[in-house]
Amino acid sequence: MGRDIGASFQTPKDVVTIAFPRSDGTASRRPDQPPTPTDGSVNFFRPVSSREPAHARWRHEVAMRMALHVPSLDKSKKYILAAFPDDYELFDHTKGSRDNPRHDLYLWGSKTVTKFRSVNEFVPHAIWLYNHNTAANCGCRYCSNAKGQGEISQQYGLPSHLRLEAAPVTIRRIVRPALAPAPEQRAASQRDADLRGAVAATRRYRIGEVAWCQIEPPLASPDPNVFIRWWPAIVREVRLKSTATGRKSVPGSAAEYVVRQSHVYKMQLLGVLYHYTVPEEMMLPYLAYAPDPDLLATLREGKAPVPLSEDLRELAYFFPMPTPKPTHFPDLEENSTLRQGSWEDALAPYGLALQVAAYITTFWCFTDEWEFKAKASKSSALPAPSASTSAAGESEVIPSPRRPQSEWRYQGAWWGNERIWMDDLVRLHPYRDQIPLDELLPESEGADTRTLFMLVTGMFITHTNDRHKGKIAGLLYELAPEGWKDPTPSKSPSKNVVIEKDFAVADQPLSSPLRRAVPTIPGQPPLQYGLPAPPRGFVFRLITPPGFEVILDIAMVAGRYYSDLLESPAGHLRLQELHFDKLGIPGAEELVNQADLEPVLSLGGLAASFGSKMGCQEWKRTRQAMLTSADTLSREALYTLFTNSDVKTEDPMLID
């Protein structure tokens, strides 16, 4: 998507075509043409002809993704859809300046789905149409009724395609906390350090998170295309390290070393008893990497050691590094020996590590509870949030019958493999136009194709009819092109906003709307941390009206934002693995798979975050409970897999 719709794409040679045996298409499902802009710019939908390169690129990428999940297709072959399902049509939304408009592709035609915005979105629906002999429901984000993520879909960390639960979106006027801090309410100790590290881009990872460690050199298999370079691990300790990187002579003074400070992390590799100290440049955020199909296929053929205990303890003594130091193994049992072993020996421990990491992404919890007391005012009550129609068409009112003067809030959360805090800027996974609030500023150019952000101002739990829901409050930001000017004056809050005139906050105009809008933990100044840097060429644009915060289901959080990842050595290496440098090069561009690339770009905000989110579903009491559950469940699942491998009839990678 963007300026270029893939003009240079060439269909690969020896490609096998896939035809859909059925369709849910209707010719009546087509976009409405928007009104012609009066400012000389363009804005229209154009059907993309099947002879255009962009059409072929979509059909190729959908087919290649389908082949990963449909057992009857051969993963080693190259595929392309012969056509989209009957009555489907690909449209190019052309919008912006007449000379250089942007082009965004959407697939229209399904009776049940308005439009698919990306290859990633359409793939589960395409698999469902293709598997016409099954009674299973469609697993795409729009059709799926399945709330649970089957164990089988987590096998080896496969991304799942879960429906966004009907989650109401509300907006309310911000209430500031009472100024006097209660003595027992203090900021969580890690929070301050973590937030400073994120805003200043000096420290990327947080204690307790799961991230990928680079194995150097990679573990090599007999096939040069299959190797293990990234191993998932838990951050146990962070240290600042000073390195003298060079020497420069200053005239008239002594020679000086140039000292550079960077962080090194003590990492506990998952699945094995191995601690590893690794510099930040050799780590990736969990969502930046997923094993490629060739590696997954190899893993599924991996054999476990024989004999094998039920808790798989035999796998723990594998170490993936070439030269381990004995001091790195504090957990080593007596009389146990470490072995580096062969490529074959690596497969089962690595499979276990991937499985544990994948399970952790399904768990979440709030941490560091504190009592939020509203600033005293005539009504002495928290404002009731107003209801609004949700993305799924339902609506919900959060009742506040007793008008409480205080509520329990949380300073932090464990969100899958990541640690998030109040005052963090987090990525949301809905698209910009899926937040159905009229009060938000109109979208800036192309914002729908980039990540939507929230600066977290509060985390709390609502209790409605015995259902407990995690909620997150905050200010919404989008990424606007640098120098973006709003063409129309912004709307004033109207329909969904409860105006609480009695509140002290409404009487205190401050110079910056942002400052006024950010409440803090008692005793701390507003907007203490600020925002991290936006990606180059963009600015963070506040789209909530001044003085208001938006409340979302916490399930809409995709994960953390990594401001400098894409420009870091590890980020470069990952982009290289995905052939990012081939974009736009005729003949080489077919190596680029947008569906793999976009999740990585979204960690830096440059693509929408739908394809790059934690799959959190189950609440756990503590971080330790998450890690223990993930470990136990993974060992059970893999033990079953290993011991039943002879009678296994189904492809364990199957999504449905």
Residues contributing to the site for Zn ion (CB under 5 A): 125, 138, 140, 143
Report the distance separating Cα 362 and Cα 373, nearest Å. Answer: 32
Residue 84, C-beta contacts closer than 8 angstroms, at least 6 positions apart: 20, 25, 59, 90, 107, 109
Q: Cβ closer to Zn ion: 97 or 114?
A: 114
How far, in Å, CA of 447 to CA of 377, rounded? 39
Of the pair 143, 637, the CB lying nearest Zn ion is at: 143
Work out the number of other CB atoms within 10 angstroms of the CB of residue 460: 18
Q: Which residue, 101 or 139, has its beta carbon nearer to Zn ion?
A: 139
Strand partners, 47: 91
List the strands of the sheet with 256-269, edge to edge: 274-279, 256-269, 227-248, 210-220, 283-285
Q: Would you tell me how many other CB atoms lie within 10 Å of the CB of residue 194? A: 25
143 versus 441: smaller Cβ distance to Zn ion: 143
- Cα–Cα nearest to 24, from 103, 153, 113, 124: 113
Distances (CA, A) of 338 to 177, 318, 319: 55, 6, 7
Beta-strand pair 618-619/363-373:
parallel
Alpha carbon distance 382, 403 (integer Å): 6
> Could you tell me which of 513, 549, 514 has the C-alpha nearest to residue 528?
514
To the nearest whole angstrom, how small is the minimum distance from the Cβ of residue 161 to Zn ion?
Answer: 9
The helix (run of H) or strand (run of E) holding residue 276 is strand 274-279
CB 479 within 8 A of CB 450: yes
For Zn ion, which is the closer residue by CB, 125 or 429?
Answer: 125
Q: How far is the CB of 21 from Zn ion (least distance, A)?
A: 16
Q: 20 vs 289, which CB is nearer to Zn ion?
A: 20
**What 3-state class would DSSP assign to 294?**
helix
Q: How far is the CB of 521 from Zn ion (least distance, A)?
A: 43
- Which DSSP symbol is given to 533? P
- Minimum Å gap between C-beta 431 and Zn ion is 17
Least Å distance, CB 386 to Zn ion, is 32
| Bridge partners, 234 (sequence order) | 210, 268
Instruction: List Cβ neighbours of 101 (8 Å cut-off, separation of 6 or more).
Output: 41, 42, 94, 95
3-state secondary structure 314-343: HHHHECCCCCCCHHHCCCCCCCCCCECCCH
Tell me the sheet residues that pair with 103.
Answer: 2, 94
Distance CA 61, CA 79 (A): 8
- The position carrying tokens 């011991």 is 643
Q: Least CB distance from residue 89 to Zn ion, whole Å?
A: 17
User: Is the Cβ of residue 79 or residue 130 nearer to Zn ion in the bound state?
Assistant: 130
Residue (140 or 169) nearer to Zn ion, CB: 140
Task: Give the residue among 262, 194, 275, 264 at the shortest CA–CA distance from 231.
Answer: 275
Alpha-carbon distance 263 to 279, whole Å? 6
What minimum distance in Å lies between the beta carbon of 143 and Zn ion?
3
Decide: 575 and 598 in contact? Cβ < 8 Å. Answer: no
Half-sphere exposure of 283 (CA within 13 A, CB side): 29
* Cα 350 from Cα 320, distance rounded (Å): 9
* 31, 91 contact by CB (below 8 A): yes
Token pair listed for 25: 């298409």
Amino acid at 653: M
| DSSP code of residue 449 | G
Min CB(162)–Zn ion separation in Å: 12
Kindly list the distances between the CA atom of residue 226 and the CA atoms of 189, 220, 299, 358, in Å, as whole numbers in the listed order: 42, 7, 10, 21
The rounded distance, in Å, linking the Cα atoms of 380 and 385 is 15
Report the nearest approach of Zn ion to the CB of residue 452 (Å).
Answer: 23
Length of the chain: 656
